[in-house]
Amino acid sequence: MGIPTSSKKKTAEPSNEKTPKKWSNPEEICLLMHRLGDYAWTHNLLTEETFFSTDFNQVIGYPTADLNQKKGASIWQESTLPEDKHLMMESYQQYKNGTQDHHCIEYKIKDRKGKVHWVLERGVVVEVDAQGKPLVVAGTHTDITEMKELKIKLEDIEHFRKKEVVDAIIRNMEADRGYVASELHNNVNQILSAARMMLELIPMVNEEMGEYTKKVKFIIYSAVDEVNKICNLINPNSLDHLSLPDLLKDQINRAGKDKNIKIKLDINGFLGGKRFPRESELTMLRVVQDIVYRITNHSHATEASIILTQERDFILLEVSFNDPKFDLNRTLKNLRVVNLVNRCEHYGGSYSMKKEKGVGIHLNASVKIHGNTP
């Protein structure tokens, strides 16, 4: 075996002990440890010899005759999966340098038949030289494959449940928005339309009355138009009738109205004529709506840039605005933003918002456009 490393777990502080520590027979110590239930080993850092305690090591399927030679460490190291080999090398070097006196790591190893096992390895220095540097390390191997596989299964179940919860939250949120949009359209819009019709029937008594009626009509027409726009923005079914770029244009035009801010929208990299999965487009629409609201109502920005593109399997969004004093920490803790982060990740993408020193805020968001439905 090669001395596996203490990479992930922790490396002990160098021992202050300078008196040589001697064990009359490290192999007897190794056999004693094996009786406790683990496969045991000792490694001599001076001669590079490794001793394995059992007649047959079930972890990698080699007989002791093959392992209890100078090549035993090489066999173990060569059987270790490539991505974990660095753990052994790092730990081995720390023992050689005298910077650790024990280790405890987990890594993957392939047995003689090609099956992968998870191994928990523990080791401790049992003999040192006059300078206190390790000479002999003894330790145990424990096959923890079943435990690891069970942990992975539990993590998969937890991940699936999380996706179900996020999916339910998204459906409920959009259903609520659809309900509000329906109420606005069916109730408020109808009331305004009725008022408009009544004004049409008012007789023109004189010129002054006519001008007054004209102004009231204009106000009602504007209110009806505004309600319809709000319905389009919050109603999840709007994407069945309008494209994502059109909805974004409307959102930005409304947001910049009567505000001292210039918002530039770039959709040249987005294939507007092609329809992508509704969940992907709707998620990106909600991200834009939220950040535009924060820019226009909770920042001192005078300029903002929104770039929507499509690249391979993703819809990509890039937003920047020039408010270096924007409260980023508070924004990232906001429940709506947290929900948007989860939502982007739920559909195979990501969401991040960072502050560029002296410049402002930069937001990047993405969602997958293929195979993203949970």
Nearest-angstrom CA–CA distance, 320 and 362: 4
Does residue 230 share a domain with residue 263? Answer: no
- Residue 303 and residue 343 in one domain: yes
Query: Has residue 149 been placed in a domain?
Result: no
* CB count in 10 Å sphere of residue 17: 11
Residues 269 and 374 in one domain: yes
Q: What is the pLDDT, as a whole number, of residue 55?
A: 61
Residue 148 within any structural domain of the chain = no
Q: Which among 143, 171, 191 is the end of a domain?
A: 143
The CA angle 11-12-17, to the nearest 5 degrees, is 145
Domain that holds residue 228: 162-240
Specify whether 171 is located in the same domain as 207.
yes
Same domain? 311 vs 352:
yes
Whether residues 246 and 363 fall in one domain: yes
- The answer to whether position 11 is within a domain reads no
CATH of residue 250: 3.30.565.10
Give the closest residue to 250 by CA, choosing from 278, 283, 292: 292
Residue after which a domain boundary falls, among 195, 211, 240: 240
- pLDDT on residue 10: 43
Specify whether 136 is located in the same domain as 196: no
Q: Kindly state whether residues 301 and 311 are assigned to the same domain.
A: yes
Query: Do 302 and 260 contact (CB within 8 A), yes or no?
Result: yes
| Domain presence at residue 12 | no
The answer to whether residues 261 and 310 belong to one domain is yes
297 and 330 part of one domain: yes
- The pLDDT of residue 105 is 94
Confirm whether 231 is domain-assigned: yes
Q: Count of domains in the chain?
A: 3
User: Which residue is associated with the tokens 């435990």?
Assistant: 147
Burial class (CB within 10 angstroms; exposed 0-12, middle 13-18, buried 19+) of 356: exposed
Print pLDDT tens along the chain (374 aa): 555 433 344 444 554 555 555 555 666 776 666 665 668 888 888 888 888 776 667 778 877 666 666 566 678 888 899 999 999 889 999 999 989 999 999 999 998 889 999 999 999 998 888 888 899 998 888 899 999 999 888 888 888 888 788 788 887 777 777 777 776 767 777 777 777 777 776 766 666 777 777 788 788 877 777 777 777 677 777 888 788 888 888 888 877 676 788 999 999 888 756 678 888 999 999 999 999 989 998 999 999 999 999 988 899 999 999 998 899 999 999 988 999 999 999 999 999 999 988 789 999 999 998 655 44
CA of 238: how far to CAs of 23, 184, 278, in Å? 79, 14, 10
Q: What is the pTM of this model?
A: 0.54
